Amino acid sequence: MTSGYGAAVGRRARLVAVAAEPEDLTPRCLRRLAEVADELEVRADLVGDPDPSRLRRHFRGPLTYSLRSARHGGRSTVGPVERRTRLLRAADHYELVDLEAMDDVQPELLAAIPARQRRVSWHASEHAERSGGGCRAGLLEASGRLRKRFAAMSAVPAALYLLVPRSGTHYGSTAPLLLTGLGRTDVTAFASGPVGTWTRVLAPWLGAPVVFGRAGAPEADGMPSVSRLMSDYGLPALPPLSGLFGIAGRAPGGSLSPRLHNAALRELRLPALYLPFKVDRFSRFWRWSFDFGSLGGLPLRGLTVTAPHKESALQVADVAGPDALGCGAANLLWLDAGCWRAATTDAVAALRALALVGVDPSGRRAAVIGCGGAGRAVAWALHEVGARVTLVNRGIAHGLEASSQLGLPYVPLSRFSPAGYALLTHATPLVEREPFPVAAADWDAVVLEMAYRDPPTALTRATHARGLVGIDGWEVLFVEVREQFRLMTGHPMPGTLLPRSICFDPAEQADTHGHTASGEPAPTHPVRREAP
């Protein structure tokens, strides 16, 4: 049994499916994985020790055995004797056996497991990889520690080396920095957790020979599913890459923006990739994204921005459009002739979605429920085209603030009735219940839902049941993504792309979370908080 790793042949990475649940090892799942994945990794700390001969009946590719310990972020708590026994037994049946640095690098194991079967790995402990100093100094210090870690690991000959530092305040940027500096083709490095998801996806373009995806549904560890790696990022193919776009928000992992943008980039053969950036503090992320090598040496060319960072996005721009200035927020940043421009595509998306169904807001009485960045943008746009707009918000403080900023009347949600309004726009992440009683709306009212979800949101269902004209968040999403793509790349999104067929991937049907049109996940439970 051998496993050879080297430079990607034909610009293609090796796709490794990680079995982390017993259901991932059923014959049906294994046969499905055999059609798309090159290798299968068995997380024995999560699924136990399955019979390798049974696995090979349904999956013909190489098998990797991993008994990840609690010290390395896994679930295994077995003692050293049992651990050595299981690793040695696995060496008789698996092409690769994961050896944790430096605990498993022992004479007995090294003598029994040849270098061609070894994957030497290191996952940072909870308190490892703390940042130090300022922005650039902290990045270089953390990168230096990671290089020393790899130097110690590489003293042990192996087929593959795997390093997973913690994301920390560096947003995982030390992992790409390591890959770009080593110039080796037997090393894979990415950052842990959802903050590091973008490093997992980008790593193959920087020289990593493999990319890991969950065999089943993705979990909170930041590892996308195999189907999402393929549908959202086009992996394992590695077309030329010279720049990056992305979505920055607090939970971008479930957004469909990467799928739509990357499909268009591939169709037009533009050498760019659109990545998800989980961001807690936008100003800090903005600094890191421009630091030396922090994004693998690839320039950032544009970002879509979701709550709660839309106000911060406006602040970092060099030039802002009238829509962003008018509502005090931006959900798009793009580089234009060395200048960062800001806009809010929520405004144009809402107006165009209304125009597609023949609705002219001019002169109509309109209510906008939600005073976050999207709600303010839609309210500003409707007011600009002559609608008589009233703001509605659950949180009184934010409602009054938006009212003062836009010069529009405000009504608390607790006192709001949809009666008398010709146009009702919902711009909060609430999807599980109606934000207002649709039954009380006028018979000829038009309802614009900014959130998208499959199955439809409660508001969309109630609108259709009442027989009202309704525009769901999917239509807004498709309009908005086209506008964002045009501004960021300078190219129209190809007309040959069918957004609905791209979005509704059968392999992803289990993911039913809702999102706003600009990518912000919408919780699937009732929201009892102030809208972002």
pLDDT at 131: 45
407, part of any domain: no
Contacts of 348 (CB under 8 A, 6+ apart): 323, 381, 479, 480, 483
SS3 (DSSP) at 386: coil
The answer as to whether 376 is a domain residue is no
134, burial (CB in 10 Å: exposed 0-12, middle 13-18, buried 19+): exposed
Give CA separation, 501 vs 235, 450, 485, 529, in Å: 18, 20, 18, 34
Q: Quick check: is 348 in a domain?
A: no
Q: Within 10 Å of residue 261's Cβ, how many Cβ atoms?
A: 26
Question: Would you state the pLDDT for residue 132?
Answer: 45
What CATH number should be reported for the domain holding residue 208?
3.20.20.70
Q: Is residue 519 part of a domain?
A: no
- Nearest Cα residue to 164 out of 145, 142, 185, 188: 188
The secondary structure of residue 493, as a DSSP letter, is: P
Q: Is residue 124 part of a domain?
A: yes
pLDDT below 50 — which residues of the chain?
Answer: 1-10, 127-134, 507, 509-516, 518-532
What's the chain's Rg over C-alpha atoms? 25
**Is 515 a member of any domain?**
no
What is the number of alpha carbons within 13 Å of residue 108 lying toward its C-beta? 11
For 318-334, write each residue's pLDDT tens digit: 999 999 999 999 999 99
Copy the structure tokens of residue 225: 């599913």
Helix, strand or coil for residue 76? strand
SS3 (DSSP) at 263: helix
Torsion over CA: 172, 224, 41, 87 (sign): positive
Full domain range(s) for residue 160: 14-236
Residue-level pLDDT at 496: 83
Note the pLDDT of residue 135: 65
Specify if 225 maps to a domain: yes
Rounded to whole angstroms, the Cα distance separating 390 from 385 reads 14
Cis-peptide, bond into residue 236, ω within 30° of zero: yes
In a domain, 310, yes or no: no
Residue type (1 letter), 9: V
- Full DSSP string of 188-236: EE--STGGGHHHHHHGGGGT-SEEEEESSS--TTSPPBHHHHHHHH-TT
Coil vs helix vs strand at 531: coil
H or E stretch at 411: strand 410-412
CA dihedral 102, 107, 108, 112 (to 10 degrees): 100
Q: What is the H or E stretch that residue 482 is in?
A: helix 473-489
Task: Give me the number of domains the chain comprises.
Answer: 1
How many CB atoms are located within 10 Å of the residue 92 CB? Answer: 11
Quick: pLDDT tens for 248-294.
999 898 889 999 999 999 999 999 999 999 999 999 899 888 876 67
Q: Which tokens is 267 given?
A: 């169709």
